[in-house]
């Protein structure tokens, strides 16, 4: 397993012990039960999988190495390195400048760039158009490219089915950096359309069945279809890929639904399905799958509340919140600072799309069970800070190291 040189500020001795012990005792990842820390005044259930994934660690390592090797030169990031406020704030403090915001709006005029500047491509990847624009200014877009290999895998999958005449349906958030990048790379080889959820898949099906005029398609999916797209011609053969951080269950639901629509429309059987629907394996990254499986295991626990830590604009973290809140009161915080007191917590409401303050969030039980997890872009150090804050809040006297040792013996 490859290891990365990550700044110490992002590491946590406590979390490292938990992860390494669980990994060593469960190398095949068959045990998704949480790590249970039994204190005198509370119990904390820590997810089996969480935190920096391969792609994030790779991106962070490249970004900091680039900074250290190029002191005195201008260093830019296309947009946020990853969707974590601590990491991005630290990079800004080191002198990095962001060229764009997360929606692709220019913060710095590309006209001001020159061949001596360094531009780091974030883990989400970027579009072919931006790559070409950088190249035209003498900047190699691949020199400091931290695009996650699992994102590139999606691009390759889209190109493969596109070359075989299938239209690519991208399941993703249309304004997300990764989805914009995937759309750009896919359209180089295939007719492509982006849908964000199963509801939009059902809307797309109406055009597959030719129940609605194509003019309505252009209005409904404006900005989300490739140039020259004709729904009457290009919704006949389909293949589904996704933004790597989407809910696996929803991507599968969308693929199954669109496949069934084509089967019914063209009277297909198992031997002829491939004439209209490409067999694409799931294109979610391993970390997204692991984190979501670990979250389902958390949902089986009899807990009082859940705390999910991460950047508010993190797609994979948001999906963990969506899952947990189906079963348990869930609070999405970006750091330990969000836990104001035993009575108030600052958290992000994913439905209102804003940060709110909730009161009386802790249960009345004398020894509550609290779930703790985070997304793939959250540093272990931040999770440890949240853990320490909870112990402080409950004035816990039991030694953390002793509790940890006792807990991990059971695995």
54-136: CATH, from 3.60.15.10, 3.40.50.10420, 3.40.50.11270, 1.10.3720.10: 3.40.50.11270
Query: Looking at residue 43, what is its pLDDT?
Result: 97
The CA-to-CA distance between both ends of the chain, in Å, stands at 21
How would you write the chain as a 3-class SS string? CCCCCCCHHHCCHHHHHHHHHHHHHCCCCCCCCCEEEECCCCEEEECCCCCCCHHHHHHHHHHHHHHHHCCCCCEEECCCCCCCHHHHHHHHHCCCEECECCCCCECCCHHHCCCCCEEEECCCCCCHHHHHHHHHCCCCCCCCECCCHHHHHHHHHHHHHHHCCCEEEEECCCCCHHHHHHHHHHHCCCCEEEECCHHHHHHHHHHHCCCCCHHHHHHHCCCCECCCCCHHHHCCCEEEEECCCCCHHHHHHHHHHHHHHHHHHHCCCCCCHHHCECCCCCCCCHHHHHHHHHHHHHHCCCCCEEEEECCCCCHHHHHHHHHHCCCCCEEEECCHHHECCCCEEEEEECCCCEEEEEECCCCCCCCCEEEEEECCCCCHHHHHHHHHHHHHHCCCCCCHHHHHHHHHCCC
Sorted by where each begins, the domain ranges of the chain are: 8-53+286-408, 54-136, 149-275
Query: Looking at residue 282, what is its pLDDT?
Result: 65
- Is the CB of residue 331 less than 8 Å from the CB of residue 69? no
Percent of the chain with pLDDT over 90: 91
CA torsion through residues 107, 113, 117, 119, sign: positive
CA 402 distance to own-chain centroid: 34
CATH fold match for the domains 8-53+286-408 and 149-275: yes
Q: CB neighbours (10 Å) of residue 273? A: 15
Query: Looking at residue 384, what is its pLDDT?
Result: 97
pLDDT level of residue 17 (50, 70, 90 thresholds): very high
Residue 372 vs residue 282, higher pLDDT: 372
Architecture of the structural domain at 149-275? 3-Layer(aba) Sandwich (3.40)
Contacts of 68 (CB under 8 A, 6+ apart): none
pLDDT level of residue 346 (50, 70, 90 thresholds): very high
Query: Looking at residue 309, what is its pLDDT?
Result: 98
What number is the average pLDDT over the span 88-92? 93
- Is the CB of residue 18 less than 8 Å from the CB of residue 383? no
Q: Which of 272, 199, 195 is nearest to 235 (CA)?
A: 195
* Residue of 178, 200, 261, 385 with catalytic role: 178
Among 1-15, 155-169, 215-229, 255-269, the least confident range: 1-15
- Kindly tell me if the per-residue pLDDT of 338 is higher than 80: yes
What residues pair up with 374 in beta bridges, in sequence order?
Answer: 309
Q: How far apart are CA 52 and CA 279, in angstroms?
A: 30
Residues 186-208 have pLDDT tens digits of 999 999 999 999 999 999 999 99
401 assigned to active site: no
What number is the average pLDDT over the span 372-395? 96
Look at the chain and count its residues: 411
Both structure tokens of 152? 């590139």
pLDDT level of residue 131 (50, 70, 90 thresholds): very high
pLDDT level of residue 357 (50, 70, 90 thresholds): very high
- Is the CB of residue 244 less than 8 Å from the CB of residue 150? yes
pLDDT level of residue 47 (50, 70, 90 thresholds): very high
pLDDT level of residue 288 (50, 70, 90 thresholds): confident
Query: Looking at residue 352, what is its pLDDT?
Result: 97
- Kindly tell me if the per-residue pLDDT of 281 is higher than 80: no
Q: How far apart are CA 23 and CA 96, in angstroms?
A: 35
pLDDT level of residue 287 (50, 70, 90 thresholds): confident
Q: Which of 42, 49, 37, 13 is nearest to 390 (CA)?
A: 42
Query: Looking at residue 279, what is its pLDDT?
Result: 82
What number is the average pLDDT over the span 89-105? 94
pLDDT level of residue 411 (50, 70, 90 thresholds): confident
CA 104 distance to own-chain centroid: 18
- Kindly tell me if the per-residue pLDDT of 1 is higher than 90: no
Q: How far apart are CA 292 and CA 323, in angstroms?
A: 8
Would strands 354-359 and 344-349 be described as parallel, antiparallel, or unpaired?
antiparallel
> Which residue is associated with the tokens 């491939």?
274
Architecture of the structural domain at 8-53+286-408? 3-Layer(aba) Sandwich (3.40)
What number is the average pLDDT over the span 50-60? 94
Mean pLDDT of all residues belonging to the chain: 95
Residues 171-186 have pLDDT tens digits of 999 999 999 999 999 9
What number is the average pLDDT over the span 42-67? 95
- Kindly tell me if the per-residue pLDDT of 134 is higher than 80: yes
> Which residue is associated with the tokens 């259930």?
45
Among 35-49, 160-174, 228-242, 356-370, the least confident range: 356-370
Tell me phi and psi for residue 331, to 5 degrees. Answer: -125, 120
Query: Looking at residue 6, what is its pLDDT?
Result: 93
What number is the average pLDDT over the span 339-356? 97
What number is the average pLDDT over the span 314-341? 97
Residues 358-376 have pLDDT tens digits of 999 998 878 999 999 999 9
């Amino acid at each position: 397993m490859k290891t990365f040189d990550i700044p110490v500020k992002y590491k946590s001795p406590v979390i490292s012990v938990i992860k390494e012990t669980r990994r060593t005792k469960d190398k095949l990842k068959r045990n998704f039960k949480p790590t249970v820390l039994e204190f005198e005044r509370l119990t904390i259930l820590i997810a089996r999988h969480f935190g920096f994934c391969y792609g994030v660690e790779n991106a962070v390592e490249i970004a900091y190495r680039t900074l250290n090797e190029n002191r005195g030169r201008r260093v830019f990031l296309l947009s946020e390195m990853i969707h974590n406020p601590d990491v991005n704030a630290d990079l800004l403090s080191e002198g990095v400048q962001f060229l764009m915001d997360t929606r692709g709006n220019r913060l710095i005029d590309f006209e001001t760039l020159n061949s001596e500047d360094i531009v780091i491509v974030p883990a989400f990847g970027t579009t072919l158009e931006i790559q070409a624009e950088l190249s035209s200014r003498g900047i190699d877009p691949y020199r400091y490219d931290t695009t996650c290999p699992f994102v590139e895998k999606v691009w390759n999958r889209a190109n493969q089915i596109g070359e075989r005449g299938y239209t690519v349906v991208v399941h993703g958030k249309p304004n997300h950096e990764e989805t914009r990048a995937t759309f750009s790379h896919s359209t180089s080889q295939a007719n492509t359309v982006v849908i964000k959820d199963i509801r939009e898949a059902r809307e797309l099906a109406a055009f597959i069945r030719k129940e609605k005029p194509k003019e309505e398609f252009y209005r409904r999916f404006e900005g989300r279809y490739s140039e020259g797209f004709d729904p009457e011609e290009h919704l006949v053969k389909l293949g589904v890929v996704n933004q790597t951080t989407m809910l696996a269950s929803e991507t599968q639901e969308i693929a199954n639904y669109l496949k069934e629509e084509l089967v019914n429309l063209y009277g297909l059987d198992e031997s002829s399905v491939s004439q209209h629907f490409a067999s694409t394996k799931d294109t979610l990254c391993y970390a997204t799958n692991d984190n979501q499986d670990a979250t389902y295991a958390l949902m089986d626990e009899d807990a009082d509340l859940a705390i999910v830590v991460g950047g508010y604009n993190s797609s994979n973290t948001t999906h963990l919140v969506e899952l947990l809140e189906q079963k348990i009161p869930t609070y999405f915080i970006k750091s330990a600072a969000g836990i104001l007191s035993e009575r108030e917590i600052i958290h992000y409401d994913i439905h209102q799309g804003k940060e709110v303050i909730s009161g009386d969030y802790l249960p009345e039980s004398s020894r509550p069970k609290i779930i703790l997890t985070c997304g793939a872009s959250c540093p272990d150090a931040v999770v440890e800070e949240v853990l320490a804050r909870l112990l402080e809040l409950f004035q816990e006297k039991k030694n953390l190291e002793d509790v940890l040792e006792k807990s991990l013996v059971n695995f």
